[in-house]
Amino acid sequence: MASVAGSGHRRRLASQRVALSRDRVVTAALALIERDGLASFSIRKLGESLGVEPMSVYHYFSGKRHLLDALVDHALSSIAIPSAELPAAERLRTLCYAYRAMARRFQALYPLVALHRLNTPIGVGFIEQVLTLVQAVARDPESMARQFRAMGYFLTGAALEETSGYARGPSAAEPVDDAYVIAHCPRLASVARYFKEPEWDATFAFGLDALIAGFAVASGAPKRRSGPRQRRAAASTS
């Protein structure tokens, strides 16, 4: 009787593995993280959401860290690399919008993407592709490295701010109200409306224009600011 029960259990596990796939595990993990948050993610909860034993997940990933690496790789792979037909500066601009769009698609996962060393084959391949774009506007390896890092500072900060930053961050136990700000911080009161989400697109475009203009100055190329049409085109490809 025990052997019959044991064989039935093995058949159920085998059928679970057949129903599963690496892509299905990744998709379910992303959905679970977006729903419940990265901090509470576990293989046990993932197994429950898939309707399988947790050990079935280990058939595809040898551990939680390997699965998290795969999620980061999945997010990076969703970033479209701009066409080589675009001017060098516009390729950088388009890539920045595509990166920002990725962070918004995977808001709960993004803090892991931002802090990950990207030292998987897909991660270093993505870095190499970005450096190829930066090289087109940089004078030498030092300039390329500094411009790559500066772009990373801007993008990571902007993406973290928009996906999990100030508006969603920890608050004081007794926060000041609007009346206090108006009475004691007139400059803050005067600009507060521009910190709100409806202004994020304009602020991102302003910062990206300044960044790319700075790259042009550093490389000795003539400055070229983007107009509304160019910014719309870059945003629409992300």
Q: What is the pLDDT of residues 39-64, one digit of tens each?
A: 999 999 999 999 999 999 999 999 99
Average pLDDT over residues 153-179: 91
CATH architecture of 7-62: Orthogonal Bundle (1.10)
pLDDT of residue 23: 96
pLDDT of residue 168: 75
Q: Break the chain into its structural domains and give their ranges.
A: 7-62, 83-167+175-236
98 near 233, Cβ under 8 Å? no
Q: What is the value of pTM for the model shown? A: 0.84
What distance in Å separates the CA atoms of residue 62 and residue 177, rounded to the nearest whole number? 50
One-letter amino acid at 170 equals P
Shortest CA distance to 43 belongs to which of 20, 22, 72, 67?
67
Bigger pLDDT: 8 or 234?
234
Residue range 83-167+175-236 in CATH 1.20.140.10:
no
Average pLDDT over residues 154-166: 93
What distance in Å separates the CA atoms of residue 154 and residue 164, rounded to the nearest whole number? 15
pLDDT of residue 97: 98
77-127 confidence digits (pLDDT tens): 999 999 999 999 999 999 999 999 999 999 999 999 999 999 999 999 999
Average pLDDT over residues 153-173: 89
| Confidence band, pLDDT 50/70/90 cuts, at residue 195 | very high
Secondary structure (H, E, C), the chain: CHHHHHHHHHHHHHHHHHHCCHHHHHHHHHHHHHHHCCCCCCHHHHHHHHCCCHHHHCCCCCCHHHHHHHHHHHHHHCCCCCCCCCCHHHHHHHHHHHHHHHHHHCCCCHHHHHHCCCCCHHHHHHHHHHHHHHHCCCCCHHHHHHHHHHHHHHHHHHHHHHHHCHHHCCCCCCCCCHHHHHHHCHHHHHHHHHHCHHHHHHHHHHHHHHHHHHHHHHHCCCCCCCCHHHHHHHHHCC
Residue 229 has pLDDT above 70, yes or no: no
| Confidence band, pLDDT 50/70/90 cuts, at residue 234 | low
